[in-house]
Amino acid sequence: MEMATIKDVAKLAKVSTATVSRVINNSGYVHEDTRKRVEEAIRQLNYRPNAVARSLFKKESKSIGFIIPDITNPFFPQLVRAVEDTFMKAGYTILLFNTDGVLDYELQLIELMKSKYVDGILAVSNSIKREHLQDLTIPVVSIDRVIDPDLPSVSIDNYDGARQAVRHLLAKGCRKIAHLSGPENIDNARERCQGYLDEMKRNNMHPLVYPGNYELKEAMNAVLMLLTEHTDVDGIFAGNDVMAVGTIKAATKLGYKIPEDIKVIGFDGIDIGMTITPELTTMEQPILEMGRKGSELLLDLIHGKKIEQKRFVYQAKLVERHST
Amino acid sequence: MEMATIKDVAKLAKVSTATVSRVINNSGYVHEDTRKRVEEAIRQLNYRPNAVARSLFKKESKSIGFIIPDITNPFFPQLVRAVEDTFMKAGYTILLFNTDGVLDYELQLIELMKSKYVDGILAVSNSIKREHLQDLTIPVVSIDRVIDPDLPSVSIDNYDGARQAVRHLLAKGCRKIAHLSGPENIDNARERCQGYLDEMKRNNMHPLVYPGNYELKEAMNAVLMLLTEHTDVDGIFAGNDVMAVGTIKAATKLGYKIPEDIKVIGFDGIDIGMTITPELTTMEQPILEMGRKGSELLLDLIHGKKIEQKRFVYQAKLVERHST
DNA sequence: TCATTATCTGTAACCGATTACACATTACGA
DNA sequence: TCGTAATGTGTAATCGGTTACAGATAATGA
């Protein structure tokens, strides 16, 4: 069954395609009777305007590209969902790309998106820098990472969140607090680490940082080492929730009781935290809100609205559960 | 910075656009010298063919639509990743849609996809039926659900998987096995339930089914009730892993030890199962493999290949961890 | 009543590619 | 040497819409 085109409609309604177009888009003048005829023809033929043809002329596609490292990382499903909901509601389609943070690939994708007339780009990337976006006319909003102070972005105050986390552990009576850090090449991991270091110093405590990579396995190994090398540790601030889960598993395996012997706090506020036992205390990010805000920002940019504020920095919120 | 078009290239290389097109697509005859000139022009102008214009003419978009209920459901991230990897490798872009299983919305999306010349559709849906796909010329592959015996699909033998799960519990010494079922309107939930019922009957055991909805909260409530109403239950087969996690949480809360007092087995094999304590025994689905297979199937369909086999049914595999 | 403006509609160019077709030239086998 | 096939290239139609422009008619105000 071939799809009807605007010409078919025009012929059936005995008008020109221009008039049909006016009816479809509700633009220009169209006599009421004519409109009726056209609408009837549209109904009869079950006509739907061809999005591709429209895109070609308008140089827009009613779609946006969303670049993320890996949907399999539990931080992203919620973010993607929030973005999708916002954009779908506005009539936009999402092109989703998992890049594993590979810059070359990300740059290729940007070219691809240009050639598809994507209306905007939402990016979560550590590798993309301002120079890669120099002569890009498509609006870009960065989520969770600040690519450049000038580039619109939605992010979290990782530094302050980390300090809050440390203070919470302190308030819970911890005397020896270690930090399981994220990958060095990721800004938010460094910021969280710095927050930890500064807050420790502020309290005249010796810092103890073990490197992790935001993943479970590695975190478990790190904690296994950490707890054998430093038996006096009674509080661990993990750089993200996934590692916090690993921390709890490792500590439990070594016979420590959480939170009695060791208190653990994570960062992110992903759902997994509530599924484990004990439920994880964490610095929660407003993921949905960030996705929504990022999307609205991009939508404004797409619509050519003046952006009064470019950077949106949210505060992580302490959610106390049973691991501290 | 305006993007260069094929005309710009043609002008610079002093040839017609037809020749440029031939060079780009490596089709027809092009003299070696001419090719060189054109390629040089392409390089100079940093020209990339416009995907939209190409789509319009070719009536294809090098993109596919992927309909899923909710990316937030931990079953889907892995599936999406597998699909994306396969299609990206083949040069296709993914349009991702979360529908929450709302039929009206799904049907609208199909219209949208038609108008975007999507080359194929991958669907995970309980609501879409064959009649909705009747006069659709775009190839469709169903994943995880069998929409119609005629429609290409990739799925799991839920029935057999459920029976295996029951047998495992039996082998572990359970004498009173309950089932926490999924939503009635979802085929795979019914199949798993039926598998449970049949295997129980086969062993002359009284079945005990509590209804769940594949979600954590509801599962916890159900199990709380179940275990107070039936104190002799020593094995629970949860319809999916998320509910299995809920089961463990609820049972633990009531003071039962897992697996000593009650053994729990789930279904799906999602990552969360490995993060909780005790780690979850489950009937693992080859999610990645299913995503890959579904994608390849669709790719074959798109390329007009003859499909020798339409239905691919995988077997769930028992992964024994610490909850049984 | 007449100039002016508002309403209505069609023609044709355009968006940026692809390709059928025609025509010219070259290569080749007999 | 000539007929045929292979090679090389351009013209123009096409994909399915949108819109600038122009021309026609109707409505309005002075």
Residue B239 confidence (pLDDT): 97
pLDDT tens per residue across span A96-139:
999 999 999 999 999 999 999 999 999 999 999 999 998 899 99
Q: Which of B45, B84, B89, B277 would best serve as a mutation to test chain A binding (most A beta carbons within 10 A)?
A: B277
Kindly state the average pLDDT of the residues B16-24: 97
Q: Which residue has the higher pLDDT, A202 or B134?
A: A202
> Could you check: is the Cβ of residue B137 within 7 Å of any atom of nucleic acid strand D?
no
Q: Are the beta carbons of A71 and B55 separated by less than 8 Å?
A: no
Kindly state the average pLDDT of the residues B180-208: 96
Alpha carbon of A296: minimum distance to chain B alpha carbons (Å): 18
Residue B277 confidence (pLDDT): 87
Task: State which residue has its Cα closest to the C1' atom of D6.
Answer: B29
Alpha carbon of A193: minimum distance to chain B alpha carbons (Å): 24
Residue B71 confidence (pLDDT): 98
Question: Which residues lie closer than 8 Å to B233 by C-beta, 6 or more apart?
Answer: B176, B177, B178, B208, B226, B227, B262
Domain-wise residue ranges, chain B: 6-49, 61-156+287-315, 158-284
The pLDDT of residue B210 is above 80: yes
The pLDDT of residue B134 is above 90: no
DSSP per residue, B67-113 = EES-TTSTTHHHHHHHHHHHHHHTT-EEEEEE-TT-HHHHHHHHHHH
Residue B255 confidence (pLDDT): 94
> Could you check: is the Cβ of residue B112 within 7 Å of any atom of nucleic acid strand C?
no
pLDDT tens per residue across span A202-242:
999 999 999 999 999 999 999 999 999 999 999 999 999 99
Residue A231 confidence (pLDDT): 93
Question: Which residues in 275-294 of chain A line strand D, with CB less than 7 A from it?
Answer: none
pLDDT tens per residue across span B238-297:
999 999 999 999 999 999 999 999 999 999 999 999 999 899 999 999 999 999 999 999
Find the CB nearest A94 among B61, B84, B96: B96
Q: Are the beta carbons of B80 and A71 separated by less than 8 Å?
A: yes
The pLDDT of residue B2 is above 90: no
Residue B1 confidence (pLDDT): 60
> Could you check: is the Cβ of residue B62 within 7 Å of any atom of nucleic acid strand C?
no
Sort out which chain A residues have CB atoms less than 8 A from B56's CB and list them: 50, 52-53, 56
Residue with tokens 């000038």: A150
Q: Which long-range contacts (CB under 8 A, 24 or more apart) does A117-120 make?
A: A117/A55, A117/A59, A117/A60, A117/A61, A117/B50, A117/B51, A117/B52, A118/A61, A118/A63, A118/A64, A118/A65, A119/A60, A119/A61, A119/A62, A119/A63, A119/A64, A119/A92, A119/A302, A120/A64, A120/A65, A120/A298, A120/A299, A120/A301, A120/A302
Residue A1 confidence (pLDDT): 60
The pLDDT of residue A322 is above 70: yes
Q: Are the beta carbons of A116 and B52 separated by less than 8 Å?
A: yes
CATH of domain A6-49: 1.10.260.40
Kindly state the average pLDDT of the residues B31-41: 96
Alpha carbon of B280: minimum distance to chain A alpha carbons (Å): 11
Backbone φ, ψ for residue B179 (5° rounding): -125, 135
Nearest CA-CA partner of A250 in A217, A220, A219, A214: A220
The three-state (H, E, C) secondary structure of A225-283, written as one string:
HHHHHCCCCCEEEECCHHHHHHHHHHHHHCCCCCCCCCEEEEEECCCHHHHCCCCCEEE
pLDDT band at A2 (very low <50, low <70, confident <90, very high): confident
Residue type for position A187: D
Structure tokens belonging to residue A62: 């009613």
Find the CB nearest A277 among B55, B84, B249: B249
The CA distance from A9 to A40, in Å, is 9
The CA distance from A170 to A167, in Å, is 5
Q: How far is CA A259 from the centre of its chain?
A: 31
CATH of domain B61-156+287-315: 3.40.50.2300
Bases in strand D with any atom closer than 7 Å to a protein CB: 7-12, 14-20
pLDDT tens per residue across span A36-92:
999 999 999 999 999 999 999 999 999 999 999 999 999 999 999 999 999 999 999
Nearest CA-CA partner of A214 in A193, A235, A230: A193
> Could you check: is the Cβ of residue A19 within 7 Å of any atom of nucleic acid strand C?
yes
Residue A134 confidence (pLDDT): 87
> Could you check: is the Cβ of residue B3 within 7 Å of any atom of nucleic acid strand C?
yes
Superfamily of domain A61-156+287-316 in CATH is Response regulator (3.40.50.2300)
* Percentage of chain A exceeding pLDDT 90: 96
Tell me whether the CATH fold assigned to A6-49 matches the one assigned to A61-156+287-316.
no
Alpha carbon of B122: minimum distance to chain A alpha carbons (Å): 14
Q: Is the dihedral of CA B90, B95, B100, B101 positive or negative?
A: negative
Residue type for position B126: N
Write the CA distances from B155 to A129, B143, B147, B265, B315, integer angstroms: 42, 6, 10, 20, 9
- Options 3.40.50.2300, 3.30.1330.60, 3.30.1330.10, 3.40.50.300; CATH of A158-284: 3.40.50.2300
